[in-house]
Amino acid sequence: MADNNFDAISKKLNNISRRDFMKFCTVMAASMGLPLEVAPQIAEAVTSPKRPPVIWLSGQGCTGCTESLLRPTHPSLEHLILDLISLDYNETLNVGAGHQAEEAMRQSIEANSKQFILVVEGAIPTRDGGVYCMVGGRPFMEIVRETADKAAAVIAIGSCASWGGIAAAEPNPTGATGAPEFLVGKPVVSIPGCPPNGYNFLSTVLHYLTFKKLPDLDAKGRPKFAYGRLIHENCERRPHFDAGRFATQFGDDGHRQGFCLYKLGCKGPQTYANCPSILFNEVGGGAWPVGTGHPCFGCTEQGVGFAMPLHEQADLKFITPAADHAPVTSDRGGGVSAAAAALIGAGVGVAAGAAAMTARRLAEADKNDDGGEAS
């Protein structure tokens, strides 16, 4: 990257060293499962002055996703991120408010039409004309549709924006809908989770900035690098599952020893996410629900999170071998049933009886013969 660009950034960010910056880019590359060689490319894109802005709309949500973005514990990075992605509008983080803020957003949208990234946080209520979420006097659903039409890419952050989340839990009185379902026909990237790990969002955005295209997405529009595997397939407690070691009650022996939480209702087997790999809040190992001893409740998955009871046992999508092995030889088959034995006995009896009776009659005929009569 050009020296003067980096210098400008570095000054803004408490004079972050070049080395630390590269480290950050490398971490971003690694979290996306990309080869480390792309780190310089990421660095290049991030420091380019021609990066597109991000418009962040908040709907029926708790703002947890925004908070999650702020949690990475490096203050310099917080600024780095917000500055680097040129967050032009975010209700939580805006300095201004009211009509001026709205006007600023409209100008940004006009100036960067078809170039900006739209991020949607929170669900979009659709019932009764969308009155259940009004922003600046207008229904949120109108704002989303209008803005999405002009965006280059749409990202739905959090489960609520991805598929409705907690707002859409039975009986869904407000008609809360996720952005992909609402913006039919427009490609929407989903970063579900409640909240999702901030890095899942960051990596996606940086991928776009660097390579001018979105990372590989699955059928639900979720980046595969983060949502490509079940929690069950990445969990550090999986060996306990395979070996049949389960906690059956909170606080029991198994629970204390960190055994698998499947029997307590862990939805890991049905939930696609990378929580066990990248954890949360950068406080070290075990910083995710299962690691702390609570079963996963499937916050990223529609139909699982906020739908299935917390302690209901999950369905296993892929059933894999247990930790033990079959012995070379095992006894199978055979076993004499009472019915079989009885029938055989009966059959033998009938045959023997018939033979005995016939033999006796024939013996009589023989005896008659001896008495002189042919027969």
Partner 1 sequence: MTARKPLGGEVLSKPFKILLAVALVGLLFIGKRFLFGIGSVSGMNDGYPWGIWIALDVVVGTAFACGGYSLAFLIYVFKKGEYSPLLRPALLTSLFGYTLAGFSVLVDLGRYWQAYNIVLPRYSNLHSVMFEVALCIACYVLVLWIEVTPAFLERFNKTELQARLNRVLFFFVAMGLLLPSMHQSSLGTLILMAGYKLSPLWRTGFLPMLFLLSAITMGYAVVIVESCFSSVGFRRPLEKELLEKISSFMPWVLLFYLLVRIEDVNLRGYLPLAFAGDSKGNLFLLENILLGLPMLLLFSPAYRKRRMILFLAAFSIMLGGALYRFNTYITGFDPGNGWHYFPTGPEIMVTFGFLAMELLGYLWLVRKLPILADLSRPARAGG
Partner 2 sequence: MRIGRRDFLKMTATGGLALACAPTLAQGRPHHDLPPAAVGILYDATLCVGCQACMVACKQANEMEVEPGQGEPLWDAPRDLSARTLNIIKRYENGDGAVKDRAENGYSFVKRHCMHCLDPACVSACPVSALTKDPASGIVGYNEKACIGCRYCQVACPYNIPKFQWDSTTPKIVKCQLCSHLVAKGGISACCKVCPTGASLFGPVEGLLAEAKRRLHMEEGKSYDFPVASLASGQVQSHRAGRYLEHIYGENEAGGSQVLLLSGVPFTSLGLPELPEQSFVEVADGIQYAIYKGMVYPLVLLGGLIYIIRKRVSTTGPAQSGGEEGV
Which residue ranges make up the site for partner 2 (CB under 8 A)? 241-242, 244, 262, 316, 318-322, 324-330, 332
**Distance in Å, CB of 34 to partner 2, minimum:** 21
> What are residue 157's DSSP bridge partners?
121, 191
Q: Which partner in partner 2, partner 1, none is near 363 (CB below 5 to 8 A by kind)?
A: partner 1
Q: Within the chain, what is the greatest distance between any pair of CA atoms? A: 137
Q: Of 15 and 337, which has the nearer Cβ to partner 1?
A: 337
| Residue 126, phi then psi, degrees to nearest 5 | -120, -10
For residue 330, the tally of other CB atoms under 10 A from its CB is: 6
Count of residues in contact with partner 1, rule CB under 8 A: 29
**Distance in Å, CB of 365 to partner 2, minimum:** 24
Q: Which partner in partner 2, partner 1, none is near 244 (CB below 5 to 8 A by kind)?
A: partner 2
Q: Of 15 and 330, which has the nearer Cβ to partner 2?
A: 330
Q: Which partner in partner 1, partner 2, none is near 292 (CB below 5 to 8 A by kind)?
A: none
Q: Of 15 and 329, which has the nearer Cβ to partner 2?
A: 329
Helix (H) or strand (E) holding 57: strand 54-58
Q: Tell me how far CA of residue 359 lies from CA of 158, 179, 202, 348, 372, in angstroms.
A: 91, 92, 97, 16, 20
Interface mask (CB under 8 A) for partner 1, residues 280-319, using x and -?
A: ----------------------------------------
Indicate the SS3 state at residue 230: strand
Two tokens at 313?
């046992």
Strand ranges in 82-199 using DSSP code E only, listed in sequence order: 87-90, 117-121, 124-125, 134-135, 138-139, 153-157, 176-177, 188-191
Q: Of 111 and 342, which has the nearer Cβ to partner 1?
A: 342
Q: Of 140 and 262, which has the nearer Cβ to partner 2?
A: 262
Q: Of 112 and 271, which has the nearer Cβ to partner 2?
A: 271
**Distance in Å, CB of 371 to partner 1, minimum:** 14
**Distance in Å, CB of 261 to partner 2, minimum:** 13
The number of angstroms, rounded, from the C-alpha of 32 to the middle of its chain's C-alpha atoms is 15
Two tokens at 267?
């939805």
Token look-up 């008659």 returns 368
**Distance in Å, CB of 242 to partner 2, minimum:** 7
Q: Tell me how far CA of residue 265 lies from CA of 77, 268, 322, in angstroms.
A: 37, 9, 19
Q: Which partner in partner 2, partner 1, none is near 335 (CB below 5 to 8 A by kind)?
A: partner 1
For residue 333, the tally of other CB atoms under 10 A from its CB is: 4
Q: Of 219 and 339, which has the nearer Cβ to partner 1?
A: 339
**Distance in Å, CB of 50 to partner 2, minimum:** 42
- The Cα–Cα gap between 34 and 208 comes to 13
For residue 346, the tally of other CB atoms under 10 A from its CB is: 10
- The Cα–Cα gap between 144 and 301 comes to 23
Q: Which partner in partner 1, partner 2, none is near 322 (CB below 5 to 8 A by kind)?
A: partner 2
Query: Which positions from 315 through 374 interact with partner 1, judged by CB under 8 A?
Result: 328-340, 342-344, 347, 354-355, 357-363, 365-366
Task: List residues binding partner 1 (CB under 8 A).
Answer: 328-340, 342-344, 347, 354-355, 357-363, 365-366, 375
